[in-house]
């Protein structure tokens, strides 16, 4: 082959490769890697960043996954809590990590699909991360604390209307799913409810029991349900596609007329962008294997989470849909997301 023909072929092949790369969804791009590099992975312990504080539902479920995942991978999986700013601190740590498959994060999708729409974040939500696998869906529970003397969700709204700003509603932080629920309730009910953001789900529970605010939205967990059963907290509503088995008398937000506030949390595993595609696929396969275990599924369901799993592309699609929906909601009245 002549030098000129070979040069034309190289130009054509390079153009095809660039076009294919540009056509890929940005969240799915991964760095090319030699087969030997991906075959040797993992060659050291895997760090699993949990972007929420210890003691919350997400922390507990991450630890449920870590042990069987370590057995499946053949290396330790070390859980590290990096809470704060609605999950963005932990996700920023992930974005800065080496893209070698040995640093992952367990997070709801809100630090990618919601937080960047309402606050400044130190990472590019579209380019900094590679989805690995969906893990679980968790209903959102809206509860009244001892500071709320009324009964039921409608009495809460009536109080908010009669005393603007007096009702304090706590969430796990700005731009979390609980904050989205609150924002939608405020917009639809046209009430002035004071937002009390926390660093995560665990720390706010003690303050809820102490009546430091009137209401909170949090992920459903066994501990909250225990306090409801003891009468220390009052279940007002759930964000879910249907009423949950543990609280059959408690309506969904959709039933109460707040369809747009009726949200649940999707949690997944993420890697840094440019993690080799072969490593992402192997991680996805191992996580799905863990999620198919009867023991793990029982632990997830026992904590009122719905196991999900699926392909990398499934999580990427969920992220795209949720970001588009959140953009539409936030653009309606940005002041509601303060």
Domain count of the chain? 2
Question: Residue 24 has what pLDDT?
Answer: 40
Residue 200 sits in a domain whose CATH number is 3.40.190.10
Domain assignment of residue 284, yes or no: yes
The one-character DSSP state at 72 is H
Instruction: Give the pLDDT mean for 167-182.
Output: 89
Q: Phi-psi bin for 104: left (phi > 0), alpha (psi -120 to 50), beta?
A: beta
Give the Å distances, CA to CA, from 50 to 36, 60, 104, 265, 286. 30, 10, 9, 15, 19
In 3D space, the residue among 304, 55, 62 whose CA is nearest the CA of residue 203 turns out to be 55
DSSP assignments along 1-22, one per residue: --HHHHHHHHHHHHHHHHHHHH
Q: Which of 310, 272, 277, 270 is nearest to 41 (CA)?
A: 277
- CATH number of the domain bearing residue 324: 3.40.190.150
- pLDDT computed for residue 2 by the predictor: 43
Structural domain includes residue 21: no
Domain termination site, one of 261, 276, 304: 261
Residues 152, 254 within the same domain: yes
User: Does residue 116 sit in the same domain as residue 155?
Assistant: no
Average pLDDT, the chain: 87
146 and 257 inside one domain: yes
Q: Is the pLDDT of residue 322 over 50?
A: yes
Residue 50 has pLDDT above 50, yes or no: yes
Domain check: are 233 and 307 in the same one? no
| Residue where one domain finishes, among candidates 216, 237, 261 | 261
Q: Report the alpha-carbon distance of residue 67 to residue 78 in Å, rounded.
A: 9
Q: Can you give the pLDDT at residue 338?
A: 58
pLDDT in tens, 188-207: 999 999 999 987 666 789 99
Q: What is the pLDDT of residues 107-141, one digit of tens each?
A: 999 999 998 998 899 999 999 999 999 999 999 99
Q: Specify whether 98 is located in the same domain as 199.
A: no
Q: Is the pLDDT of residue 39 over 80?
A: no
| Structure confidence by residue, pLDDT tens digits, 57-115 | 788 899 999 999 999 999 999 999 999 888 999 999 999 999 999 999 999 999 999 98
Q: Which helix (H) or strand (E) holds 50?
A: strand 46-50
Are 111 and 178 in the same domain?
A: no
Statement to judge: residues 124 and 143 lie in one domain: no
Residue 327 lies in a domain: yes
Q: How far apart are CA 305 and CA 269, in angstroms?
A: 15
63 and 173 in one domain? no
Residue 29 reports pLDDT greater than 80: no
Domain with 292, as residue range(s), is: 40-138+265-337
Phi, psi of 193 (to 5 degrees): -110, 135
pLDDT for 166 beyond 90: yes
Domain boundary at 204, 234, 261, which? 261
- Domain annotation covers residue 321: yes
Instruction: Answer yes or no: do 223 and 161 share one domain.
Output: yes
Percent pLDDT > 90 in the chain is 66
- pTM for this prediction: 0.77
Q: Whole-angstrom Cα distance, residue 172 to residue 138?
A: 14
- Per-residue pLDDT band for 335 (boundaries 50, 70, 90) equals low
1 assigned to some structural domain:
no
What pLDDT, on a 0 to 100 scale, did the predictor assign at position 118? 85
By the 8 A CB rule, do 88 and 121 touch?
A: yes
In a domain, 25, yes or no: no
């Amino acid at each position: 082959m002549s030098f000129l023909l070979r040069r034309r072929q190289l130009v054509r092949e390079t153009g095809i490769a660039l076009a294919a790369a540009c056509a890929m969804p940005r969240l799915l791009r991964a760095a090319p890697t030699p087969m030997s590099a991906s075959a040797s992975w993992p060659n050291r312990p895997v760090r699993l960043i949990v972007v929420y504080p210890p003691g919350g539902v997400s922390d507990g479920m991450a630890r449920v996954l870590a042990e069987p995942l370590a057995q499946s991978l053949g290396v330790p999986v070390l859980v590290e809590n990096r809470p704060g700013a609605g999950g963005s601190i932990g996700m920023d740590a992930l974005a800065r990590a080496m893209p070698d498959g040995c640093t992952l994060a367990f997070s709801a999708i809100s630090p990618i699909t919601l937080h960047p729409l309402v606050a400044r974040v130190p990472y590019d939500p579209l380019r900094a991360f590679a989805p690995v696998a969906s893990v679980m869906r968790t209903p959102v529970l809206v509860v009244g604390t001892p500071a709320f003397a009324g009964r039921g969700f409608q009495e809460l709204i009536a109080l908010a209307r009669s005393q603007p700003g007096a009702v304090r509603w706590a969430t796990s932080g700005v731009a979390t799913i609980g904050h989205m629920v609150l924002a939608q309730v405020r917009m639809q009910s046209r009430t002035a409810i004071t937002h009390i953001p926390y660093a995560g789900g665990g720390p706010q529970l003690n303050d809820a029991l102490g009546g430091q605010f009137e209401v909170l939205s949090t992920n459903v967990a066994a501990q909250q349900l225990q306090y409801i059963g003891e009468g220390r907290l009052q279940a007002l509503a759930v964000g879910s596609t249907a009423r949950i088995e543990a609280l059959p008398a408690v309506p969904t937000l959709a039933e109460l007329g707040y369809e747009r506030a009726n949200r649940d949390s999707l949690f997944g595993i993420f890697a840094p962008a440019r993690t080799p595609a072969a490593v992402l696929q192997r991680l996805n396969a191992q996580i799905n294997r863990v999620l198919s275990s009867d023991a793990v599924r029982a632990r997830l369901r026992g904590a009122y989470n719905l196991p999900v799993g699926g392909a990398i592309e499934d999580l990427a699609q969920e992220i795209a849909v949720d970001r588009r929906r959140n953009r539409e909601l936030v653009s309606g009245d940005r002041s509601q997301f303060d």
